[in-house]
Amino acid sequence: MMTFDQILFYALAVIAVLSAIMVITRRNPVHSALFLITTLFCVAGIYLQLHAEFLAAVQVIVYVGGIMVLFLFVIMLVNLETLSQERRFNRQWHIAILVSVVLLVEFGTIIWRGKAALQLPANQPLMDTLTTNNSEQLGVVLYQQYMLPFEIASFLLLVAIIGAVILAKRRLSSDGK
Protein backbone atom coordinates (compact mmCIF):
# COMPACT_ATOMS: atom_id res chain seq x y z
CA MET A 1 0.00 0.00 0.00
CA MET A 2 1.38 3.40 -0.98
CA THR A 3 1.37 6.28 1.37
CA PHE A 4 -0.19 9.61 0.47
CA ASP A 5 3.28 11.07 -0.16
CA GLN A 6 4.14 8.28 -2.55
CA ILE A 7 0.92 8.66 -4.50
CA LEU A 8 1.53 12.39 -4.75
CA PHE A 9 5.10 11.87 -5.88
CA TYR A 10 4.20 9.43 -8.63
CA ALA A 11 1.35 11.65 -9.80
CA LEU A 12 3.66 14.68 -10.03
CA ALA A 13 6.45 12.69 -11.65
CA VAL A 14 4.19 11.12 -14.28
CA ILE A 15 2.59 14.46 -15.15
CA ALA A 16 6.02 16.11 -15.34
CA VAL A 17 7.42 13.50 -17.71
CA LEU A 18 4.30 13.36 -19.89
CA SER A 19 4.18 17.16 -20.23
CA ALA A 20 7.89 17.18 -21.02
CA ILE A 21 7.20 14.77 -23.88
CA MET A 22 4.35 17.04 -25.01
CA VAL A 23 6.73 20.03 -24.99
CA ILE A 24 8.91 18.50 -27.67
CA THR A 25 6.17 16.90 -29.76
CA ARG A 26 3.60 19.73 -30.13
CA ARG A 27 3.62 21.60 -33.41
CA ASN A 28 2.41 24.87 -31.94
CA PRO A 29 5.17 26.49 -29.87
CA VAL A 30 2.63 28.20 -27.61
CA HIS A 31 1.28 24.78 -26.64
CA SER A 32 4.84 23.61 -25.99
CA ALA A 33 5.38 26.59 -23.71
CA LEU A 34 2.20 25.83 -21.76
CA PHE A 35 3.22 22.21 -21.28
CA LEU A 36 6.61 23.40 -20.12
CA ILE A 37 4.87 25.41 -17.41
CA THR A 38 3.09 22.25 -16.27
CA THR A 39 6.39 20.36 -16.12
CA LEU A 40 8.05 23.11 -14.12
CA PHE A 41 5.11 23.26 -11.71
CA CYS A 42 5.23 19.52 -11.10
CA VAL A 43 8.97 19.71 -10.46
CA ALA A 44 8.27 22.48 -7.93
CA GLY A 45 5.82 20.10 -6.27
CA ILE A 46 8.52 17.43 -6.05
CA TYR A 47 10.90 19.95 -4.49
CA LEU A 48 8.23 20.64 -1.87
CA GLN A 49 8.01 16.94 -1.10
CA LEU A 50 11.74 16.96 -0.50
CA HIS A 51 11.26 19.77 2.03
CA ALA A 52 13.05 22.23 -0.22
CA GLU A 53 10.45 24.93 0.18
CA PHE A 54 12.70 27.77 -0.86
CA LEU A 55 13.73 25.98 -4.02
CA ALA A 56 10.12 25.26 -4.86
CA ALA A 57 9.23 28.92 -4.50
CA VAL A 58 12.22 29.93 -6.64
CA GLN A 59 11.21 27.40 -9.25
CA VAL A 60 7.77 29.00 -9.51
CA ILE A 61 8.97 32.62 -9.37
CA VAL A 62 11.98 32.40 -11.67
CA TYR A 63 11.11 29.60 -14.08
CA VAL A 64 7.35 29.72 -14.30
CA GLY A 65 7.29 33.49 -13.88
CA GLY A 66 10.38 34.96 -15.48
CA ILE A 67 11.70 32.45 -17.95
CA MET A 68 8.31 31.51 -19.35
CA VAL A 69 7.62 35.17 -20.13
CA LEU A 70 10.84 35.15 -22.13
CA PHE A 71 9.81 32.02 -23.99
CA LEU A 72 6.54 33.63 -24.97
CA PHE A 73 8.36 36.76 -26.12
CA VAL A 74 10.64 34.67 -28.29
CA ILE A 75 7.67 32.80 -29.71
CA MET A 76 6.22 36.16 -30.74
CA LEU A 77 9.51 37.10 -32.37
CA VAL A 78 9.89 34.04 -34.58
CA ASN A 79 7.83 33.33 -37.63
CA LEU A 80 5.29 30.78 -36.50
CA GLU A 81 4.00 29.96 -39.97
CA THR A 82 7.32 28.73 -41.35
CA LEU A 83 8.15 27.09 -38.06
CA SER A 84 5.07 24.89 -38.10
CA GLN A 85 5.84 23.76 -41.66
CA GLU A 86 9.34 22.63 -40.82
CA ARG A 87 10.25 19.11 -39.84
CA ARG A 88 10.25 18.75 -36.11
CA PHE A 89 12.98 16.19 -35.80
CA ASN A 90 16.07 15.58 -37.81
CA ARG A 91 16.95 12.24 -39.29
CA GLN A 92 18.79 10.97 -36.24
CA TRP A 93 15.79 10.71 -33.98
CA HIS A 94 15.34 6.94 -34.39
CA ILE A 95 18.89 6.38 -33.19
CA ALA A 96 18.43 8.98 -30.48
CA ILE A 97 15.40 7.19 -29.06
CA LEU A 98 17.18 3.85 -29.21
CA VAL A 99 20.22 5.20 -27.37
CA SER A 100 18.05 6.96 -24.79
CA VAL A 101 16.08 3.78 -24.06
CA VAL A 102 19.28 1.74 -23.70
CA LEU A 103 20.69 4.38 -21.37
CA LEU A 104 17.48 4.54 -19.37
CA VAL A 105 17.35 0.77 -18.89
CA GLU A 106 21.01 0.71 -17.97
CA PHE A 107 20.77 3.48 -15.39
CA GLY A 108 17.49 2.08 -14.14
CA THR A 109 18.92 -1.39 -13.46
CA ILE A 110 22.07 -0.04 -11.90
CA ILE A 111 20.24 2.31 -9.59
CA TRP A 112 17.70 -0.39 -8.76
CA ARG A 113 20.46 -2.80 -7.82
CA GLY A 114 22.29 -0.19 -5.81
CA LYS A 115 19.35 1.49 -4.15
CA ALA A 116 20.42 0.19 -0.77
CA ALA A 117 23.48 2.39 -1.15
CA LEU A 118 21.33 5.50 -1.44
CA GLN A 119 19.77 5.24 1.98
CA LEU A 120 21.31 7.73 4.33
CA PRO A 121 20.30 6.84 7.88
CA ALA A 122 23.11 8.97 9.28
CA ASN A 123 21.57 12.11 7.89
CA GLN A 124 18.14 11.65 9.47
CA PRO A 125 18.62 14.43 12.09
CA LEU A 126 19.60 16.73 9.22
CA MET A 127 16.30 15.99 7.52
CA ASP A 128 14.40 16.90 10.69
CA THR A 129 16.10 20.27 11.01
CA LEU A 130 15.55 20.93 7.32
CA THR A 131 11.84 20.37 7.75
CA THR A 132 11.56 23.52 9.80
CA ASN A 133 12.62 26.91 8.51
CA ASN A 134 14.11 25.78 5.24
CA SER A 135 14.71 29.31 3.93
CA GLU A 136 16.40 30.46 7.12
CA GLN A 137 18.72 27.48 7.09
CA LEU A 138 19.54 28.11 3.47
CA GLY A 139 20.41 31.70 4.32
CA VAL A 140 22.93 30.63 6.92
CA VAL A 141 24.49 27.94 4.73
CA LEU A 142 24.65 30.19 1.70
CA TYR A 143 26.13 33.17 3.48
CA GLN A 144 28.55 31.25 5.69
CA GLN A 145 29.56 27.83 4.50
CA TYR A 146 29.23 28.54 0.80
CA MET A 147 30.11 32.24 0.76
CA LEU A 148 32.73 31.90 -1.98
CA PRO A 149 30.52 30.14 -4.54
CA PHE A 150 27.84 32.67 -3.62
CA GLU A 151 30.07 35.59 -4.56
CA ILE A 152 31.23 33.82 -7.73
CA ALA A 153 27.56 33.45 -8.63
CA SER A 154 27.30 37.22 -8.80
CA PHE A 155 30.01 37.21 -11.47
CA LEU A 156 27.98 34.61 -13.30
CA LEU A 157 25.02 37.00 -13.22
CA LEU A 158 27.28 39.82 -14.44
CA VAL A 159 28.29 37.66 -17.40
CA ALA A 160 24.61 36.95 -18.03
CA ILE A 161 23.90 40.69 -18.13
CA ILE A 162 26.75 41.33 -20.59
CA GLY A 163 25.69 38.41 -22.74
CA ALA A 164 22.05 39.44 -22.84
CA VAL A 165 22.88 43.01 -23.83
CA ILE A 166 25.49 42.33 -26.48
CA LEU A 167 23.66 39.43 -28.11
CA ALA A 168 20.20 40.94 -28.07
CA LYS A 169 20.86 44.59 -28.74
CA ARG A 170 21.63 45.60 -32.31
CA ARG A 171 23.25 48.95 -31.65
CA LEU A 172 25.31 49.60 -28.56
CA SER A 173 26.42 53.03 -27.46
CA SER A 174 29.94 51.77 -26.76
CA ASP A 175 30.38 50.84 -30.44
CA GLY A 176 31.75 54.37 -30.69
CA LYS A 177 31.18 57.12 -33.18
**21 versus 80: smaller Cβ distance to other proteins:** 80
- Kindly state the smallest distance separating residue 25's Cβ from other proteins, in Å: 19
Task: Tell me how far apart the alpha carbons of residues 9 and 12 are, in angstroms, rounded to a whole number.
Answer: 5
Our CA dihedral for 22, 28, 34, 36, rounded to 10 degrees, sits at: 50
CB of 21 or CB of 127, closer to other proteins = 127
Between residues 93 and 143, which has the closer beta carbon with respect to other proteins?
143
Residue type, 114: G
Residue 148: CB partners within 8 Å, gap ≥ 6? Answer: none
Which of 94/170 has CB closer to other proteins? 170
Cβ-defined contacts of 31-37 (< 8 Å, 24+)? 33/68, 33/71, 33/72, 33/75, 36/68, 36/71, 37/64, 37/68
Minimum distance between the CB of residue 1 and other proteins, rounded to whole angstroms?
18
Least spacing, CB of residue 37 vs other proteins, in Å: 13
Residue 62 CB, nearest approach to other proteins (Å): 6
